[in-house]
Amino acid sequence: MRQSPYHRPRDPFWYMRRSVYRRYMVREATSVFIGLWMLNLILGILQLSRGEAAWTAWLTWQQHPLMLTFSGLTLIMAMVHTTTWFAIAPKAMPKFIAGKAVVHQQVVIGHWLVFGLVSLFLLVAVYWGA
């Protein structure tokens, strides 16, 4: 039998020590909420495929305070994800595009403009598409 490898003792809440660590953990935690929410959405599409009664039951379940709390937390966490993702986007880009220096602030503003357009388009599509 192989001896289990040595693990240096570590504070399990190491990320509470500095605000930059805490913000990092909040950013990573957004994935837990978005992932669970995606599974809930797949459940909704399953119910939609099973007929009207099943769909209405799923939609009614979304009105439950527990689900509304979950949706609210997911909305906040999704906004955290969007904000942090847009903030690092210019840093992941080339420094120069077509010989011109990339201005970080412009890239971030551009991302938010597209975000606004996408959100507006989806809202309008569901509002008038119905």
Partner 1 sequence: MRWKHHEPFFWSLFGAGGVISAFCVPVMVLLTGFLLPLHLLPEAAYNYESLHALAQNLWVKGAILVIVALSLWHCAHRIFHGLHDVGVSTGPLARTLTYGLAGLSSLALLILLLTL
Q: Does 59 bind partner 1 (CB under 8 A)?
A: yes
How many amino acids of this chain bind partner 1 (CB under 8 A)?
54
* Of 5 and 99, CB closest to partner 1: 5
Q: Does 79 bind partner 1 (CB under 8 A)?
A: yes
Name the burial class of residue 125, with classes exposed (0-12), middle (13-18) and buried (19+) by CB atoms within 10 angstroms of its CB: exposed
Q: From the list 23, 57, 85, 106, which residue makes contact with partner 1 (rule: CB under 8 A)?
A: 85
Q: How far apart are CA 103 and CA 95, in angstroms?
A: 9
Q: How far is the CB of 100 from partner 1 (least distance, A)?
A: 22
Determine contact, residues 82/107, Cβ cutoff 8 Å: no
Q: How far is the CB of 22 from partner 1 (least distance, A)?
A: 12
Q: Does 66 bind partner 1 (CB under 8 A)?
A: no
Q: Does 109 bind partner 1 (CB under 8 A)?
A: no
Q: How far apart are CA 47 and CA 59, in angstroms?
A: 9
Determine contact, residues 115/82, Cβ cutoff 8 Å: yes
